[in-house]
Amino acid sequence: MGLSRNVSLSTALRYKGQGPFLTFILHRIGGLGMAIFIGIHILASFLSGDVGNAINAVYESWVFQLFIFFCVLFHAINGLRITIVDLWPKLIEHEREAIWLEWAVFIPVYAIAAFAIIRSALGG
Amino acid sequence: MATKSRTLPLSKRGLNFEMLMWIFTRLSALAMYALILFGVIGALIMGARNQMSFADILRWGFMPNSTHVQSTNVPDLAPWSSFLWNLTATLLLLVGTAHGVHGLVVIADDYVTSPRGRLVLRFLSIVTMISISIIGAYVLWAL
């Protein structure tokens, strides 16, 4: 039996799920970003030669590095929260606090990495 | 008012494919944490502290393959391409591919709702998972 969607796109875009929804959608974007990157990366190293080198040049762009590190770090930290809460279901009561804690870890670590990436991009 | 537990006992939940993949996603996440930590510790033992930057150590950690340390100051690639590291990298590849492809299926299920479409997607995802695993293992061991 197929499910039918009765929510229009405009309604979906106006959904205000606050913190938990933001982590959900960023987790999804991060996972998709990594899956696409790693898939292409494996194929590029398999092909090597000109095609592989052309694809590898993309990874050296600092914009791409900022994006992929955001994907990896957010997906890893948020995934750890999901794992802990799901394996110990009683902790669901503290979900909001866990999300704040997650940002408290993510923001400084990402800021340091972003600083290092941008500094080396500027030639420092 | 006493809050009622919302978790059903395992006997009432049943043990189907979705339940198995749900627990696999969580456990494989923990396994990837362990494998990456193992790679980082191994790199530090092999002298990474003096031979590469922290970014390069993480690059090695995310996939312990010797081509990932070629551009650093490592004097000899032999210890970095040992059987142990090829095995660790292969484990990380297999666990990561299964985790990632199942994640893609979960995302696709939110948009593809017809039984026929889902069947096609499941078939495609299995083909993707097997081919990426084989190509990745070939790159790790033969290139």
| B-chain residues near A48 (CB < 8 A) | 143
Residue in A3, A25, A38, A56 to test binding to B, most B beta-carbons within 10 Å: A38
Nearest to A87 among B26, B33, B107 (CB): B26
Count A/B contacts: CB-CB distance under 8 Å: 50
Confirm or reject contact between A3 and chain B (CB < 8 A): yes
Residue A54, classified by CB atoms within 10 Å of its CB into exposed (0-12), middle (13-18) or buried (19+), is exposed
Per the structure, the count of domains in chain B is 1
- The pLDDT value recorded for residue A15 is 74
Compare all CA atoms of chain B with the CA of A27 and give the residue at the minimum distance.
B103
Q: Let me know if residue B7 belongs to a domain.
A: no
- The pLDDT value recorded for residue A2 is 52
pLDDT band of A1, cuts 50, 70, 90: very low
- The pLDDT value recorded for residue B1 is 45
User: How far does the CA of residue B123 sit from the closest CA of chain A (Å)?
Assistant: 18
Per the structure, the count of domains in chain A is 1
Residues of chain B under the 70 pLDDT cut: 1-11
Nearest to B52 by CA among B33, B80, B78: B80
pLDDT band of A101, cuts 50, 70, 90: very high
Compare all CA atoms of chain B with the CA of A65 and give the residue at the minimum distance.
B55
Query: DSSP per residue over A13-24, as a string?
Result: HT---HHHHHHH
Cβ A2–B115 below 8 Å, yes or no?
A: yes
Q: Let me know if residue A12 belongs to a domain.
A: no
Q: What's the mean pLDDT when you consider all of chain A?
A: 86
Nearest to B100 among A3, A38, A72 (CB): A38
Percent of chain A with pLDDT over 70: 92
Q: Let me know if residue A4 belongs to a domain.
A: no
Q: Where is A48: in which H helix or E strand?
A: none
Question: What is the mean pLDDT of the segment spanning A70-99?
Answer: 90
Q: Let me know if residue A9 belongs to a domain.
A: no
- The pLDDT value recorded for residue A123 is 80
- Which residue range forms the structural domain that includes residue B78? 27-142
The CATH number of the domain where A59 resides is what? 1.20.1300.10
- Look at residue A9 and tell me whether its pLDDT is greater than 80: no
d(CA B63, CA B139): 12
Nearest to B114 among A2, A34, A86 (CB): A2
Q: Let me know if residue B10 belongs to a domain.
A: no
Q: Let me know if residue A3 belongs to a domain.
A: no
Residue pair B24/B15 in contact (Cβ under 8 Å)? The answer is no
Distances (CA, A) of A25 to A13, A89, B11, B115: 12, 22, 32, 25
Q: Let me know if residue B3 belongs to a domain.
A: no
Residue pair B24/B98 in contact (Cβ under 8 Å)? The answer is yes
Q: Let me know if residue A110 belongs to a domain.
A: yes
- Which residue range forms the structural domain that includes residue A26? 18-121
